[in-house]
Amino acid sequence: MKKVLVTGANGFTGRVLLETLAGSEWEVIPMTQVETGLKNEIVIDFRESMFLHVLKNTPRVDAVVHLAARPGWDGCSLEEMIYPNIVATSALINWAKRRRSYLVFASAALIAGTDKSYITPELGVKLNTHNDYLYTKWVGEDIARAIGIKHSILRISGIFGKGGPSHLGINNAIAGALLGKPPVRYGDGNIKRNYIYVKDLCNIIKFCLDHKIEGWHLVGGSQVNTMAEMLQTICDILLPGAKPEIRPDNNSGAHDQIVEPSPLLPQSRSFSDAVRDIKQNTEQTIT
């Protein structure tokens, strides 16, 4: 079996990726911030200087999937993000390059600009935003390009699913609906998104690992929906007969954010199919 090191393995995407890789030809070495009891687990904190010592003693792997990062959506400062997102990331990529490992680097589509309504490959790899978190992700990308490691950079749109990060409103809507609470729609809900379902993202990561896809790629959902459509779909599937609660728009600056998915990567399922999958998995867990 081939070995893959997955950083952030105890995070939202990391947990689903471990399920996706289970039973495949990839033996996972999970890297987690805290002890979780996972098989082959390496406990490491990217914010601490001991990271370098632990990394030095980590066995060679065939590939690295770098998901771990200090998120910028929680209000932390650039200073707090520099070590985990840039210094530790640089050390990890250098370590992987010396061991001739292949790298999948999880980045963000909004590097192309938080003000962009349509993010396409034509916008290129340059940084088009002053957001500190996105700046650190772009530096991480640039390190991979400069070092010359065989790699794939995935610039990912918003990721949704059960238990998804709360900074994305659609995840809050799903979480509330699973508890019987109708979602809230602000204004007409006509802004458009093509978020990616976490399971589809993990299938894309596995595809990159299996085929050693190279270069940088945009990752988003294959289907574009308005917020109103997504919220009504959540009601139709998780709360039949319910409708979203409508409140006045509290964010007049909101605009479409559509990411053009790379044609080289697998397509995602529809939003409704993803919500049905969430419902099915939840019912199976309860029973």
Give the per-residue pLDDT at 52: 85
Architecture of domain 2-159+196-219: 3-Layer(aba) Sandwich (3.40)
Give the per-residue pLDDT at 253: 73
Distance CA 181, CA 169 (A): 14
Q: Helix (H) and strand (E) counts for the chain?
A: 9, 15
Give the per-residue pLDDT at 287: 64
Ranges of residues in the chain with a pLDDT under 50 are none
What residue type is assigned to position 101 of the chain? S
Give the per-residue pLDDT at 251: 67
Q: Quote the distance between the C-alpha of residue 284 and its chain's center.
A: 25
Q: In the chain, where does the domain assigned CATH 3.90.25.10 lie?
A: 162-194+223-256+269-286
Q: Mean pLDDT across the chain, nearest whole number?
A: 95
Give the per-residue pLDDT at 8: 96
Distance CA 71, CA 85 (A): 9
Distance CA 154, CA 109 (A): 8
Task: For the domain covering 162-194+223-256+269-286, report its CATH number.
Answer: 3.90.25.10
Give the per-residue pLDDT at 74: 79
**For tokens 């001991």, what's the residue?**
50
Q: In the chain, where does the domain assigned CATH 3.40.50.720 lie?
A: 2-159+196-219
